[in-house]
Chain A
Amino acid sequence: MDLTQLIPIGVFLLLIVVLSPLLGTYIAWLLGGESSDEMDWKQYLGAILTFNAVGFGLLMGILMCQQFLPLHPDGARGLDISLAFNIAVSFVTNTNWQSYAGETTLSPFSQMVGLGTQNFLSAATGIAVLSAFTRGLARSTGRTLGNAWRDMSRIVLGILLPLSILFAVVFVSEGVVQTFDPEHQVTTVQGEQQAIPLGPAASQIAIKQLGTNGGGYFNANSAHPFEDPTPLTNLLSTIALVLIPGALCFTYGIMANHRKHGVALFATMTVLLTIGIGVSLWSENVSAAVLNESVVMEGKEVRIGVAESILWSSTTTAASNGSVNAMHSSLSPLAGGVAMLNMMLGEIVFGGVGSGLYGMILFVILTVFLTGLMVGRTPEYLGKRIDAVDVRWAIVAIVAPSASMLIGSTLSLYTEAGRSSMMHSGAHGVSEVLYAWASAAGNNGSAFAGLNANTTFYNIGIGIAMLIGRYAVIVPVVIIAGRMVSRIRMKESAGTFPTHSPLFILLLIGTILVVGALTFFPVLLMGPLAEQVQLMQGGF
């Protein structure tokens, strides 16, 4: 194996470790304190859900009427209802699943005003829910979780906008396009005529990376040279994938008054991400060796290379982003499996902005529940006791997305509507549909390529999976926060198990892998694992 492959990965990890605490401290400052108009959990949840519902309605309207709205230089037409539903759900839920080619289907107006707005607001929703959850754990004997409007406006104006502007400026300077010009007609070297679509991409790409959205301006996403033209933009884009989710670990530690615990969560995520990258890279190298190639470049950009492609594929699936700089269908089977597992675990390894961390905390609750019992104490988390109702809601939030992945895949494989969209059959076909449903229910949005998802069956089905993946987690999380906030925060005593030790990190990783992976081991065995063995045994 070529050890120089490890250099970009090392640089990436180093920068994340340095930048996350800085940004995290700033966010804690931004979201700290009490607002004058606090909400209890029902009001907070109501505000978030209403806000998302209104955003969904507006976006659907824009998409279905885009020919009547300004800025459609290439004459984009209004979308049919199933596609509009799918896109609207996709962007409101921070999934950014795209069953269409953005540059040809949508007008710049739809992209900027419609999708761009939701890129910010869906990201803000995730962080706001996290901050409410954090207050539920940090506060004692109160009733309120903060003010949803204050939180969201501060998140958008104080975090997402400034960072997006910063990244967009750098992207533009590196050559990412940012224009309202219609598509360019060029004559290729072979003398053919080709239409090259342009658009205001740089501003979209900044927030698509930062807000773990992932919906590219162009269909090829960041594999497109107009989205990701240079090594610098590639590095920055990769960092932007996990910057905010990573920073929020530190924010959480500060706001919950337990910094070391925040660091432990960050460490847990980093370890899991690194394991994923390592396994994927190993699989790429082994597969290349079997095929007697130095590297396997199918579906990868030559200018980006294997290591950066793997780094991106691992990171984007871990971080619920879903933007891609290589086609995941062409990854070596096990690397594709890692990408799937990252999503199947519920997008908790960094995960979506906000959503990744609150998903992780649900696993923490399960972990401290088991460890609490094992040290002979009623389980408590950050000094708050965990009761049966909390466990029930945590289970709902963990199981619901998994259930929709399994049931969705089953429907795909069992119905003609589902099967007819599949490009491959056999193990790779299984991977194709598994990936799509995992991407939807995990609110990731990346695609495996191969599956034609722009059908009524997939647009509606995937749309429902995205809704479950988002709100079947948000609702339990806010309910748990509402239950926790009024509980006395117990003093840590010598009998309390510390939630920041290496042993804790190990147990958390164990719980995540055992609980998360056991659910999907059979299907992964039939899909990517079988494929990898077939490949290595030369039966490919």
Chain B
Amino acid sequence: MAITSSVMSRALIVQALKDGIVKFHPRELRRSPVMAIVAIGAVATSIALIVDMTKGSFSGVDLQITLWLWGTVYFANIAESIAEGRGKAQADALRRSRQTTTARKMVHGVEQVVGSSDLHVGDLVVCETGDLIPLDGDVIDGIASVDESAITGESAPVIRESGGDRSAVTGGTRVLSDRIVIRITVEPGQAFLDRIIGMVEGAQRQRTPNEIALSTLLIGLTVVFVLVVITLPFFTQYLSSTGNGSADTSISVLMALLVCLIPTTIGGLLSAIGISGMDRLLRSNVVAMSGRAVEAAGDIDVLLLDKTGTITFGNRSASEFLPAPGVSVSDLARAAYTASLADETPEGRSIVHLARHTHNIRDAHEDLRDVVTHAFTAQTRMSGADFVDVSGTSHHVRKGAADAVEAAVVALGGSMPKDVRTAADKVASAGSTPLVVSDGNRVLGVVELKDIVKGGIRERFERLRLMGIRTVMITGDNPLTAAAIAAEAGVDDFIAEAKPEDKLARIRLEQSQGRLVAMIGDGTNDAPALAQADVGVAMNSGTQAAREAGNMIDLDSNPTKLIEIVETGKQLLMTRGALTTFSIANDVSKYFAILPAMFAGLYVGSDGTSPMETFNIMGLASPQSAILSAVIFNALIIVALIPLALRGVTYKPQGVTAVLRRNVLIYGLGGLVIPFVGIKLLDIVITALGLA
């Protein structure tokens, strides 16, 4: 996605300053109970101020307190606006590629031109070079290269073809070459692009379970402090009525105390944190279908991933020829080469490649007569060729799985030499795939097909392990092969000889034991497992079924993206937790600033001092400046923390205890100490400027 990488641009901030004013509407304020209370406090002090002025008494400090209370609400509004603004910019970019287009709809084999908004599920449309694909669908005929940069930001075209796992096309992308027939799979307005825009704009943003739980906690704390502030004047009034001096319980002081005590820091930034979390995910080119999924990502215990394409490069390739006793390597290579001529699979081609390059086997087609090729079928599990060579000898070369070839050889009266069997087992146990080559009833040897583990994957799994996530590899390979690759790649567990339903069973098993499972998949047969997993990440290159089933889509189709997803999910929760802790810890210092100031007139002794002066541990200049400093600090800390809310707290994959210790030190202890310093400094400035 073409997005600027800066956290806040100037234009964004200007827009946010405007939007922040609109958010004073009571309907908007109601969504955050904490900020709503601040707004009520601001209204109360404003009214008190006006009433005082009509009486002819005017207090500059009260005016400043009132302004700062309004400022507190405004700053929280700005924070939310900035977070939303970043999403809006992205949505606008996306919306440009969603303009209504015409579509060439196929009706009974005849093309009709219709508007893309008139299409329905099941319609067939034709797209040729240069056409914009009108809506999401599956390719049912043809192959084409498609420019998906509008969605993925990746300019290199991708191939989309009928059948297989690369059949899904997305509305708003453009066909660059060839012609495809697409079956529409969504109704207009519900397409992938629409959903992304919805997510990005926050229009569909529902509060996530953890966010709701945290809001509940914040409301609880707010209720406590409302109660504290409401009951306080009764205590002080009693004390004054019994001749113990008086406390300043004017509306402005009480509201200042209330606003400083309720968790405004986290309350004001909560929604910005949530919006920017989704936003960060989108920046790493992952579209989450719900905020819930992002949160769940932070909780993942187990990750299931396919071996092929994820841990290893998709294709196995031939690495070595291991001849049977009495057979030369070049004979084996030549036989394997001939047997693979009709084998168009990547494995077959890699055998041809190896034979040509390492054993200098040249195309000997012309020398052979009566060539009959046998393509690989699921029934025979072999491919091969029958021919007559230059010397007139007829050959029946075959290449295939060891047991299939053995069966064929035995049927012709031959047998599998012990050495070949040993070699095949050895290859398998090393994590490679052995193919056995035969000619008639004679076994010639073994071809080793090697799985190439992707570079750097081991380090990535190590990182996941530090996050507390176990990785499980799923492969159709036999257990020996699977174990070897698992060891090489550094996964924690594997399922060998897996059938599609095994994935689903494993996910259910892990879940029943109380673990949260993530799964990455792209194929249609992955869809049930993707739907069952707590976090199902579908590759954008995958089938429509897979993309529908997952709750996240990786636009880059990069399976190791899960690390970023998990980090974003954890970061989202950590940012909320850290700022809540910070907010609550702040209260201690605010108490020490405001209460001694408020109670300064209580219990005044014969020497004219109050014992409350003892609790003015910051040595603030005057009661007025103490209260004003606390209110200003409380407002400004919201502004100061906006970048942190948008960026998220730093997350390093390390043990939970280390992570917690770090966050408690920074946000807990820091939350205790920082406001003492901040309020003292503000007090000095206020006194110097003569504001109070």
Q: Are B239 and A426 in contact (CB under 8 A)?
A: yes
List the B residue with the shortest CB-CB distance to A418: B238
B660 within 8 A of A: yes
Q: Are A376 and B570 in contact (CB under 8 A)?
A: yes
Q: Mark A356-372, 1 if CB is under 8 A from B, else 0.
A: 00000000001001111
**Min distance, Cβ A73 to any Cβ of chain B, angstroms:** 44
Complex partner residue of B227 from A403, A419, A494, CB under 8 angstroms = A403
Give the CA-CA distance A419 to B237 in the complex, in Å.
Answer: 13
Stretch at the interface among B216-224, B374-382, B418-426: B216-224
Size category of the binding interface on chain B: 35 or more
Complex partner residue of B659 from A376, A515, A526, CB under 8 angstroms = A376
**Min distance, Cβ A400 to any Cβ of chain B, angstroms:** 10
Complex partner residue of A395 from B220, B227, B584, CB under 8 angstroms = B220
Stretch at the interface among B187-195, B358-366, B429-437, B598-606: B598-606
B58 within 8 A of A: no
Q: Mark B586-602, 1 if CB is under 8 A from A, else 0.
A: 01100100010001001
**Min distance, Cβ B671 to any Cβ of chain A, angstroms:** 10
**Min distance, Cβ A432 to any Cβ of chain B, angstroms:** 12
Q: Mark A495-524, 1 if CB is under 8 A from B, else 0.
A: 111100101000100100011001101110
List the A residue with the shortest CB-CB distance to B604: A539
Q: Mark B564-582, 1 if CB is under 8 A from A, else 0.
A: 0000011111101110110
**Most A CB atoms within 10 A — which of B466, B603, B615, B660?**
B660
Interface residues of chain A, those whose CB is within 8 Å of chain B, are 140, 366, 369-379, 383, 386-388, 390-392, 395, 398-399, 402-403, 406-407, 409-410, 413-414, 419, 425-427, 429-430, 488-491, 493-498, 501, 503, 507, 510, 514-515, 518-519, 521-523, 525-526, 529-530, 533-534, 537, 539
Complex partner residue of A515 from B236, B261, B584, CB under 8 angstroms = B584
List the A residue with the shortest CB-CB distance to B610: A530
Complex partner residue of B467 from A366, A378, A495, A507, CB under 8 angstroms = A495
Q: Contacts A409-B231, A426-B242, A426-B603; is A521 near B213 (CB within 8 Å)?
A: no
Q: Mark B647-661, 1 if CB is under 8 A from A, else 0.
A: 000010001110111
Secondary structure call for the B interface:
helix
In the complex, which residues of chain B have a beta carbon less than 8 angstroms from the beta carbon of A372?
573, 577
In the complex, which residues of chain B have a beta carbon less than 8 angstroms from the beta carbon of A371?
577, 660
Closest 4 CB pairs of A and B: A373-B577, A495-B468, A376-B570, A395-B220
In the complex, which residues of chain A have a beta carbon less than 8 angstroms from the beta carbon of B657?
497-498, 501, 503
Q: Are B514 and A370 in contact (CB under 8 A)?
A: no
**Most B CB atoms within 10 A — which of A374, A386, A498, A503?**
A374
In the complex, which residues of chain B have a beta carbon less than 8 angstroms from the beta carbon of A491?
301, 513-515
Give the CA-CA distance A402 to B667 in the complex, in Å.
Answer: 27
Complex partner residue of A497 from B210, B217, B656, B667, CB under 8 angstroms = B656
Secondary structure call for the A interface:
helix
List the B residue with the shortest CB-CB distance to A403: B227
In the complex, which residues of chain B have a beta carbon less than 8 angstroms from the beta carbon of A496?
468, 656
Give the CA-CA distance A427 to B587 in the complex, in Å.
Answer: 24
In the complex, which residues of chain B have a beta carbon less than 8 angstroms from the beta carbon of A392?
216, 220
In the complex, which residues of chain A have a beta carbon less than 8 angstroms from the beta carbon of B51?
none
B234 within 8 A of A: yes
Give the CA-CA distance A375 to B649 in the complex, in Å.
Answer: 11
B631-678, CB < 8 A from A: 651, 655-657, 659-661, 663-664, 667-668
B442 within 8 A of A: no
Q: Contacts A395-B216, A426-B239; is A375 near B514 (CB within 8 Å)?
A: no
Q: Contacts A399-B223, A519-B228; is A530 near B299 (CB within 8 Å)?
A: no
**Min distance, Cβ A469 to any Cβ of chain B, angstroms:** 16
In the complex, which residues of chain A have a beta carbon less than 8 angstroms from the beta carbon of B569?
376
B197-250, CB < 8 A from A: 209-210, 212-217, 219-221, 223-225, 227-228, 231-232, 234-239, 242-244
Q: Are A375 and B668 in contact (CB under 8 A)?
A: no
Complex partner residue of B605 from A387, A529, A539, CB under 8 angstroms = A539
Complex partner residue of A522 from B228, B651, B668, CB under 8 angstroms = B228
Give the CA-CA distance A383 to B299 in the complex, in Å.
Answer: 12
B512 within 8 A of A: yes
Q: Are A374 and B664 in contact (CB under 8 A)?
A: yes
Give the CA-CA distance A20 to B217 in the complex, in Å.
Answer: 34
Give the CA-CA distance A526 to B244 in the complex, in Å.
Answer: 11
Give the CA-CA distance A174 to B599 in the complex, in Å.
Answer: 51
Q: Mark B436-474, 1 if CB is under 8 A from A, else 0.
A: 000000000000000000000000000001111110000
**Min distance, Cβ A334 to any Cβ of chain B, angstroms:** 13
Give the CA-CA distance A376 to B512 in the complex, in Å.
Answer: 23
Complex partner residue of A370 from B512, B581, B599, CB under 8 angstroms = B581
Give the CA-CA distance A390 to B220 in the complex, in Å.
Answer: 12
Q: Are B660 and A406 in contact (CB under 8 A)?
A: no
List the A residue with the shortest CB-CB distance to B296: A378
* 20 A–B pairs (Cβ distance < 8 Å), ordered by A: A369-B214, A374-B581, A376-B569, A377-B656, A383-B514, A387-B209, A391-B216, A391-B217, A395-B223, A410-B235, A414-B237, A426-B244, A430-B239, A493-B470, A495-B469, A518-B224, A521-B595, A525-B615, A526-B602, A539-B605
B298 within 8 A of A: yes
Q: Are A488 and B232 in contact (CB under 8 A)?
A: no
Q: Are A526 and B235 in contact (CB under 8 A)?
A: yes
List the B residue with the shortest CB-CB distance to A424: B242
Known: A369-B217, A370-B581. 8 other contacts (CB 8 A): A374-B667, A391-B217, A391-B220, A488-B514, A491-B513, A496-B468, A529-B615, A534-B605
B12 within 8 A of A: no
In the complex, which residues of chain A have a beta carbon less than 8 angstroms from the beta carbon of B466?
494
Q: Are B235 and A495 in contact (CB under 8 A)?
A: no
In the complex, which residues of chain B have a beta carbon less than 8 angstroms from the beta carbon of A429?
238, 242
B611 within 8 A of A: yes
In the complex, which residues of chain B have a beta carbon less than 8 angstroms from the beta carbon of A518?
224-225, 261, 584, 587-588, 591
**Min distance, Cβ A370 to any Cβ of chain B, angstroms:** 6
**Min distance, Cβ B533 to any Cβ of chain A, angstroms:** 16
Complex partner residue of A526 from B515, B587, B599, CB under 8 angstroms = B599
**Min distance, Cβ B301 to any Cβ of chain A, angstroms:** 5
B83 within 8 A of A: no
**Min distance, Cβ A509 to any Cβ of chain B, angstroms:** 12
List the B residue with the shortest CB-CB distance to A371: B660
Q: Are A406 and B573 in contact (CB under 8 A)?
A: no
Q: Are B235 and A427 in contact (CB under 8 A)?
A: no
Give the CA-CA distance A523 to B236 in the complex, in Å.
Answer: 9
Complex partner residue of A494 from B214, B244, B655, B667, CB under 8 angstroms = B655
Q: Contacts A410-B231, A491-B515, A497-B657; is A373 near B209 (CB within 8 Å)?
A: no
In the complex, which residues of chain B have a beta carbon less than 8 angstroms from the beta carbon of A521?
591, 595
**Min distance, Cβ A119 to any Cβ of chain B, angstroms:** 33
Complex partner residue of A490 from B214, B220, B514, CB under 8 angstroms = B514
Q: Contacts A371-B660, A373-B580, A491-B513; is A366 near B217 (CB within 8 Å)?
A: yes
In the complex, which residues of chain A have a beta carbon less than 8 angstroms from the beta carbon of B572?
376
Q: Are A373 and B210 in contact (CB under 8 A)?
A: yes
Q: Are A378 and B298 in contact (CB under 8 A)?
A: yes
List the B residue with the shortest CB-CB distance to A496: B656
